[in-house]
Amino acid sequence: MSQHQPRIIKTEEDNEKFLETVEERLSRSHLTAEEDALLELLVKPIEDFEDKHYQLNASIPYSRLLHLMEARGLKQADLVEILGSSEMFTKIINGELKMTKEQAETLGNFFHVDASLFILG
């Protein structure tokens, strides 16, 4: 468990390890309350590292959504109900439409991550 303790990420290698841990946990169908809380704590250092070391643009929340979908083997059709329609999903992914707070919260609950991952800050 100590390898999964939240801490400041200082290297790309550390970031990759954190991402692997998050993806592994996201692939599970059921998380305990402790695992869910740990998952939320692991996401923040990843965000901080990537904010500091990567050029960010407006597509980041959508990139995160696509990454989470890929990690779980999900398709657009799997999220249409959450986002409203296939057309809305496409517009959100293309950056033509901002995700609503409600949609972000629903996706956060669905993926067991903080809703802020899906909202431009």
Q: What's residue 82's pLDDT?
A: 84
**1/97 Cα distance (integer angstroms):** 40
Those residues whose C-beta lies under 8 Å from the C-beta of residue 36, and which sit 6 or more positions away, are 112
CATH topology of domain 57-121: 434 Repressor (Amino-terminal Domain) (1.10.260)
Average pLDDT score over residue span 14-29: 84
Rounded to two decimals, the pTM is: 0.52
**17/46 Cα distance (integer angstroms):** 10
DSSP string of 17-82, one letter each residue: HHHHHHHHHHTSS---HHHHHHHHHHHHHHHHHHHHHS---TTHHHHHHHHHHHHHT--HHHHHHH
- For the stretch 51-71, pLDDT in tens is 777 654 445 777 888 888 888
Average pLDDT score over residue span 67-77: 86
Average pLDDT score over residue span 72-84: 86
User: How is the chain split into domains, by residue range?
Assistant: 1-54, 57-121
